[in-house]
């Protein structure tokens, strides 16, 4: 079942995100999308439009579809997920692990410190 909630913020957003079966990122422009990283950190099974930025963000912790093909590409991915709850559970774990390892404040600041040390050598 799909629920179109409109805008939801704060605790309500976090509750929806934590309990969603899957999160679909449809944006085809921009860099790393905070909503995608947040969905991963909440332990969502993520499906992303196959922009280079989204593919880098999800790594092997999510699924993708061809955004140019639209629904023709997205539908089979969603069908697979609907038919395979264990697969969804596995991607949930992987997404949360990747978000913590790559996108936590500690990981980001460590990467910046390493970069600055290399520059200053």
pTM: predicted TM-score of the whole model, two decimal places: 0.87
pLDDT in tens, 7-34: 899 999 899 889 999 999 998 888 889 9
Q: Are 36 and 61 in contact (CB under 8 A)?
A: no
Q: What is the pLDDT of residues 88-102, one digit of tens each?
A: 999 999 999 999 999
Query: Which CATH number describes the domain made up of 10-120?
Result: 3.40.50.2000
């Amino acid at each position: 079942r799909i629920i179109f909630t409109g805008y939801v913020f704060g605790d309500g957003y976090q509750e929806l995100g934590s309990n969603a079966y899957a999160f679909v990122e449809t944006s085809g422009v921009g860099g790393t999308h905070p909503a995608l990283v947040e969905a991963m950190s909440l332990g969502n099974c993520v499906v992303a439009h196959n922009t280079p930025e989204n593919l880098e963000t999800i790594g092997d912790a999510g699924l993708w579809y061809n955004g140019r093909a639209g629904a023709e590409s997205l539908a089979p991915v969603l069908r697979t997920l609907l038919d395979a709850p264990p697969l969804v559970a596995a991607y949930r774990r992987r997404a949360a692990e990747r978000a913590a390892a790559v996108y936590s404040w500690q990981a980001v600041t460590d990467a910046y410190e390493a970069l600055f040390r290399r520059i200053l050598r």
